[in-house]
Structure formats: structure tokens, C-alpha cells
Amino acid sequence: MWADLSRVLSLWHGRRWWLLAGGGVAVLAMLAGLALLGLAGRGAAAALAGGSTLALLWLRPLVLLRPALRWAERMVTHAATFRALADTRVWFFERLAERLPAGLGLNRAGDLLGRMVTDVEALDGLYLRALVPAAAALAAVLAVAVVLAGAPLLALILGLPLLFALLLPLLLAPAAARAGTALAEAQGQLRAAVVDPLSGLEDTLAANAEARSIAAVAAAGDELARTQHAMAWRTALAGAGGGLLAQGALLGALAWGLTWGLEGGTPGSAIAALFLALAAAEPLGAMPRAGAALAAAAASARRLFQAADQAPPVPEPRGLPMQPEGFALSLKDVEFRWSPDRPPVLQGLDLELPEGSRIAILGQSGAGKSSLVALLLKLAQPQAGSISLGGTDIATLPGAEVRHRVTCLTQEARLFDDSIAANLRIAAPLAPDAALWRALDRAGVAELVHALPDGLETQCGEAGARLSGGQARRIALARVLLSAAPILILDEPTAGLDAATERAFLSTLEHNTEGRTVILITHRLTGVEKPQRVLRLAGGRLLTAAG
């Protein structure tokens, strides 16, 4: 638990000045409140004794200063938190991108979404509900000890309960961490239970599976409610313990004051102690909740690190890479399997592709076509053999460098819920509108986009839902053509299109990919394609196709 929380703080190192400033303002706000009630106590005691009430003159500036400091505390601490959490989300996304380059794989989209959103948000408790209140409470205990240094017995009576209230979250946090872990897991399961059937809602409804999906959501909701109840019970128990300790400090100060007063003393110290105890009770009252916040933050951090610490399938090389000379491709004796316990998908595969080659690779489902694409894009790495680009082994090149030279139009090319222009600029972020129109024209869809009321700013909808299958595929093709990559892989680019649309699409490809190396991967040819070679992928090897 503590190792995970320490690692979170190390991620926030770049925001340390914001975080320290927030804690500092919180301490100043607490000290202002302590001084306010302390001076009020002294003034009240002096008035009862008929003495000077000059201490009350300081109340006016403190009355104005304290709310100003509380406002500044809220603004600075939340600004620090927002910046730290934003950094955490970026870090987590980058780690996922490195470890899931070929897609989610066996990871559930809903669970990863929960980690990205819910678990990152839960980390705010580490700072806002644990570290900041702890800094203020510790300062309160120290201030009380300093003020009452002249009355050691009173300082002990008042300080010990307050000190135990400060330490209570640390004592309860390890046990609460188990409840926090169960709560974080239950939240992830509920999100996955909701997202999965909604992502495939058409299939869910077509199979009359909505009742089962609802039952799964209800079961996940019940489990979440159970874990929330367990966490709430622990939080309430900690709050009750903290309240008892704070009340114990007040009763102790009151008992001391009454005893001292019966012995003939003046009530000034007792009244001041009571006011100090009241002032210290506020920051210490937040401490019981800090234990639950620590537990929740630790559990969420563990879930983040579990996903982020997976070994990347293709580790990035170290050192300066040798730049490829040209874009000829060469695969020699390549062997690949997705995991050690699975049979090889590719075995002894060889392929030589000079610059500007145009080949078609045929193969049935499961023959290894998608695996070959993953290897060429460096989304996976072979267990044996080598793949070179321009005479340079791609194992020595960063993945981004490879994908700068090799791009792919997949059978599931996705359009994002953004404008057509934004979808195109994924391939070339700085491309001007004129370049976008040229790419659309080469993809045979410029006329359609011109006819749309919003033109390039037309929203595509999630997964291109506002466009037909053929239109979405052509915009995806325009995105590929906009890329400067000299090697173009077409992985089942016409899957799901009708025959006429398929032939028109392939004809467009044929006329707009001159000068590039084109690798068409498909299960059959239509006759429109004009490859220089036709190969068949079978038994893990590439063979010359008959006829």
C-alpha cells in the first residue's frame, strides 16, 4: 500500500510546487483559525477576570484573513490536484499505448475505461483528503503544544487525544485498504458489465440477451453496493473514533480547568485550552476520513499499476538507431507465435519486397495474415528471424519510426467521433485543408464531402455511424493516402462492402497508390487488382499462388 502511494507521489513530482503551495496555504488557514479561537478564549478569560481585553483587537483582521485563506486553500489545492491527475492520465495512456499497440487484446474496454477515469479520480483523495488535512492537523497539534508549553499537564491532557486522532488513519488504513481494493474491483466490474453490452447493443438486442445483460449489471451493482457498505462502515467507525478522541480532549481540558479552579486559580488557562481544543477539533475531525481516502487511493493506484506495468510486447530499442536507406522490405526465416503456449502462426516465412512493389497475399481466416500485418507495423515482434526496412533491422528502430514508413488500412479502420478534417489529420496533423481535399479526391469521396452542409467539419459520429460503410471506408482510405508513408498495407480493405462498391474501391486504390509499395492482404481477388505477384499464406509460409 505505502509503496503504491509513494509511487503516485513520484508521478506527481513535476507538480510538487503546486502541491506544496496547497499544503502550505491549508496550514496557514488552520493556524489562522487556531489563533482566532485562541485569542477569543484569552479575551473571554481576561474579561471574566476584569483584565485587559487587548487580545480581542486582533480578532478583526483574523476574521477577514481566515475565510480568505480558506478560499485560497480550496483554489490552490484543487488546482494542484487537477494538474496532478491530468499528468497521471497522460502517463497511464502512454503506458497503455506502449503495452497494447495492437489493441485491447484480452483487456476489457469497460475495465480499462474505469481505471482511466474512476481510479485516477480516486487518487485525489491521497492529496485532498489525506495529505493536506494531515499537514493541517499536525500543525494544529504542534501549535497547541507550543501555546500550552507553560502548562505541561494541560498540554499532555489536551495533546494526547489529539495526537491519537492524528495517528488514527495510519492505524486503520491497512485494514481499510482491503475494503478499498474490493471497492475498486467492484467499480471496474460494474463499468465493464455496462460498457460491454452497450458497445455491442445491436447484437445484444438481436440475440434477446438484454435480460441477461441487465441481470449481469444488477449483480455487479449489488456487489458494488456491498463493498460500498463495507467501506462506509469502516469510515463511520473511524469517524466515531476520531470524534471520541476530540471530545476526550475537550473533556480533559474542562476537567483540568474545573479542578484548577476549585483550588483557587483563575479560569483563564482553562478557557484558553477549551477554545484551542475547539479550534484543533476542526482539522483533526477530517482525519478519520483520511484513512478511507488513503485506502481508496492505494487500491486505485494498484489497479493502475497492474495495467501499466505489463511487459510491452515490443520493447523500444536503446541508443541512436541507424536510419533506413530507402523502404525495401525483407523478411527472413520469420517465426512468430502470440504466446509461448500457442502453436506458431508463422514459421520459416521469407519475403523480399523491392521499393514500389505491388503484391497480393491470399489466405484463409486464421492463416496468419493479421499476424503478418502486426509484425510489419512493429506491433509485435518475431521469436526468430528478422525483418528489415531499407537494410535496417526494425528491431533497432523505434516503433514510431517504423510506422512513419509503413501505414495500414485495416478491415476495421475506425473513424472517431469528430469532424472529417480531424479524422484525416490523424495521419498528418499539420496538413492544410487543400491537402485534405486532395486526399479525399484521390479516395473518390471529395464530391460527397463537398455536398455536405458542413463540409470538412461534418461530424462522423462514433465509429463513423453517420456515414455509410462505403463512405466511411473511403474517408479512412483518404486518411491513409494523406500519410507520407511509402509502404501501404491493405488488410481486407473491402470487408463488408457489396460487390459493386468493392470493385470501385479497389479501382480507386489501384490508381492512387503509384510509387508506393502496396501489400494487399485478402482472402480472394476480384480481378480489379493488378499485383506484380500473388502469394498465398499457408502453413506459416508464403508460397507462390497457383494460376
Question: Do 258 and 289 reside in the same domain of the chain?
Answer: yes
Pair type for strands 329-336 and 384-389: antiparallel
Question: Do 374 and 519 reside in the same domain of the chain?
Answer: yes
Q: Which residue has the cell 502453413?
A: 539
> What is the identity of the amino acid at 60?
R
Residue 154 grid cell: 494541560
Edge-to-edge strand ranges of the sheet holding 346-353: 346-353, 329-336, 384-389, 392-393
Question: Do 517 and 402 reside in the same domain of the chain?
Answer: yes
The answer to the question of residue 313 being in a domain is: no
* CB 191 within 8 Å of CB 110: yes
pLDDT in tens, the chain (547 residues): 778 888 888 989 989 999 999 999 999 988 887 777 767 666 666 655 555 555 555 666 777 788 888 899 999 999 999 999 999 988 888 887 777 665 555 456 566 766 777 778 888 888 888 888 888 878 877 777 777 666 676 667 666 666 776 676 666 666 666 777 777 778 777 877 777 777 677 777 777 777 888 888 888 888 888 888 877 777 777 667 666 766 666 666 666 655 654 444 455 556 666 666 666 666 666 676 777 777 778 888 888 888 788 777 777 787 777 788 888 899 999 898 887 888 888 888 888 889 888 888 888 877 788 888 888 888 888 889 999 998 888 888 888 888 888 888 877 778 888 899 999 998 888 889 999 998 888 888 888 899 888 889 988 887 778 888 778 888 888 888 888 889 988 888 777 667 777 777 777 777 777 788 888 888 877 766 778 888 888 888 888 875 4
Domain that holds residue 180: 2-308
Cα angle 430-432-436, degrees, rounded to a multiple of 5? 105
Separation between Cα atoms, residue 375 and residue 385, nearest integer Å:
12
Question: Do 197 and 341 reside in the same domain of the chain?
Answer: no
The answer to the question of residue 316 being in a domain is: no
* CB 304 within 8 Å of CB 91: no
Separation between Cα atoms, residue 518 and residue 504, nearest integer Å:
18
Whole-number pLDDT of residue 106 = 47
Q: What is the CATH number of the domain that holds 445?
A: 3.40.50.300
pTM metric for this prediction? 0.72
Whole-number pLDDT of residue 262 = 44
Question: Do 444 and 376 reside in the same domain of the chain?
Answer: yes
Question: Do 190 and 160 reside in the same domain of the chain?
Answer: yes
Question: Do 217 and 341 reside in the same domain of the chain?
Answer: no
Cα angle 469-474-476, degrees, rounded to a multiple of 5? 95
Residue 15 grid cell: 507538480
Q: What is the DSSP letter of 117?
A: I
Q: What is the CATH number of the domain that holds 137?
A: 1.20.1560.10
Separation between Cα atoms, residue 308 and residue 99, nearest integer Å:
8
* CB 277 within 8 Å of CB 38: no
Question: Do 200 and 56 reside in the same domain of the chain?
Answer: yes
Whole-number pLDDT of residue 271 = 65
The answer to the question of residue 319 being in a domain is: no
How many domains is the chain built from? 2
